[in-house]
Structure formats: C-alpha cells, structure tokens
Amino acid sequence: MATIKDVAKLAGVAISTVSYALNDSTRISQATKDKVLEAAQQLNYRKNGFASDLKRTKTNTIALILSDLAGPFYSELTKGVQEVSMTNGYDLIACSSQGGAESTAVKFLREKRVDAAIILAHNISDDIIIQSARKGFPIILLDRQLSIDHVVQVEVDNHQGGYDATEHLIQHGHKDIAFISGPQNAHDSEMRYSGFKAALRDHDLLHQTKWLMQGDFTREGGYRATKILIAQGNLPSGVFYANDEMAVGGLQAFRENKINVPGDISIIGFDDIQLAEFTTPPLTTIKQPKYEAGALAIHLILQQLSGQIVNPYYKLSTELIVRKSVK
C-alpha cells in the first residue's frame, strides 16, 4: 500500500507539500497540487481509515498520547494538561502509543474520536500525524519537529539543557565525560546529545565514543548502560544521563559495584523528576517545565478550537538544579 512518502518521492516534493495538496492548502500553487494529485492517483494512494471527510460531532474530549503512561516524568505533564482541560469543560483521555501504528492511540487519531491531540510519542510516525492533522482537528507535538499546517510544536530547549549539564561537569574539573542517551529515534535525546557535544567542543575536550551508551529513558535502561560502562574499565570522571530515570538506575549500578557518587564519579541527569531530590546522593539535574509544557499545550489547543490563530512553534527554557551528585 502506497504511503504519503511514496507520493512525495514520485512527485519530487516534500512530504509537507503532499499534505498541503491533499488538503487543498493555499500555501502551494495549483500546478504543484496537480502534480501531487497525479502522483497520488498513479500510486492509487488513499487516506484509508482516516475519517477526515466524515461528518463529526464535537466530543469535548482531547487525547494526550504518550510513549508510556508509567514513569514519574509524565505525571507533572499530565497534571498540567488535565487541570487546564477540566477548567475549560473538556475531558482528557491519556493513551499509550505502545504498538505504534496498531495502537489505540493511532485509532483515536485516524478515526477522529476526539477533538484534538497532544502527542509526546516518538513511535507515532510523521506519516500518521501528517494525515491526521486537519482544520478543526489541531495537534500539538511536544519535543519533536514537524512543520506542517494544523500542527503546533512545543519544545523544551533540550540542546541548551544538554550544554548546561555538560558545562557544569566541566566547571567542576571533569574532562572525561560519558553520555547515556535515550532511544535512538528520540528527538529530545538527540538534542541533549548535541548540547553535550557542543559543550565539549567549546572547551576543547575530546568526545570519546567508548563513553557513549544507549539507554531507553527507563531506570532499567540506565542501570544496564551503567553496568556496561563499569565493565569496560577505565571509567570517566563524570556521566551525563539524558534523563533522571536512567540516572537513578545508574546510581544503583554504581552502588552495587561500590563506586561512590560523587566521590569516585560525578553524575547529572535531566528532567528534575520528584524522586531526584530524594536519591542518595540527591541528583544534580536539568529541570524542564513539565507542568508548564502541558498547560501551554492545552491552552494552544483551546485557542485553535475557538478559531484563533497561534504561532506554529514555542520553545521553553530549562534550569540547572544543583544538588549533591557532582563534585
């Protein structure tokens, strides 16, 4: 079955241009629309399963689609979305994107069972989002970049946060620094990594690939990555974990191997989850505005549903929180 990417390739245009053409947007010329529609016809491309052309009734419900409903990071984000939506008379459905294209979350998008969606899930493909977003069905993307009509991006300044975390270690005399990343296709992890590399570069420090480990943003992932780091021997003096949950797993691995934090090795996380200040030692981290991101996302949804025009992109600042895990 042909996808929107196949149409874009045959027509020789960007995926966003195909979206504009299929939705009769005025942002592209008629000649370009005709070229895209001809390519779609040649490939027998259909927006199968997408109910954008069906008559819908207002549901007064908004979907919050997350990679995982568990974990301390999501609770503050969800709280921000929930409080604003309830105050304005909207119900909230939180969905997990586990299962990708076959998930219940994708069914909500395809069949328009809600009035709008907020998405923080790297395994919901661009293709699905492009085909789902419509006038009257706005989508807010958190910590992800996809510039098309009816999609608004709300992003934390992950690059700057990654830079600040790394520079904090450097300012404490650390030159050999490891990075424990999130999932390979997670945009927020990639931007934190880019900040990490930029800080090393600005201080004329080497980026050693042997100290680059991949976790999956979970405590277990951080634990496993840290165990591999320890098994290699020749430990770095500092570790930047791309989120706090992995840092908590790392603390456990170091403790089991009788490696003292921060006496033997310093660590820093990202997120400032509630647990961070209660670990042993309390975790130095980069705070991102989780509640504020959720509240902003729902406010932008409500503005669009009422017919207002909003900016397509918003960036939120991070903050270094100094505790006891860096020496």
Contact status, residue 222 vs residue 215, Cβ threshold 8 Å: yes
Element holding 7 (H helix, E strand):
helix 4-11
Residue 57 has a pLDDT of 66
The amino acid present at 272, given as its one-letter code, is D
Residue 1 has a pLDDT of 64
Q: Assign 3-class secondary structure to 116-137.
A: EEEEECCCCCHHHHHHHCECCE
The total number of residues written for the chain in this structure: 327
pLDDT in tens, the chain (327 residues): 678 888 889 999 988 788 778 776 777 888 898 898 888 888 877 554 344 444 456 889 999 999 877 777 788 889 999 999 988 999 999 988 877 677 778 877 877 788 999 999 888 888 888 888 888 889 999 988 888 888 999 999 999 999 999 999 999 999 999 999 998 888 999 999 999 999 999 999 988 899 999 998 999 999 999 999 999 988 999 999 999 999 999 999 999 999 999 999 999 999 999 999 999 999 999 999 999 999 999 999 999 999 999 999 999 999 999 999 999
Residue 246 has a pLDDT of 97
CA 52 from centre of chain: 26
Measured CA distances, 296 to 132, 156, 203, 301, 303 (Å): 21, 12, 36, 9, 11
Residue 196 has a pLDDT of 98
Annotate 162-193 with b (16+ C-beta within 10 A) or e (fewer).
Answer: bbbbbbbbbeeebebbbbbbbbeebbbbbbbb
CA 144 from centre of chain: 5
Residue 54 has a pLDDT of 41
Residue 109 has a pLDDT of 82
Residue 114 has a pLDDT of 87
Q: Which residues contact 133 (CB under 8 A, 6 or more apart)?
A: 19, 139, 148, 149, 150, 151
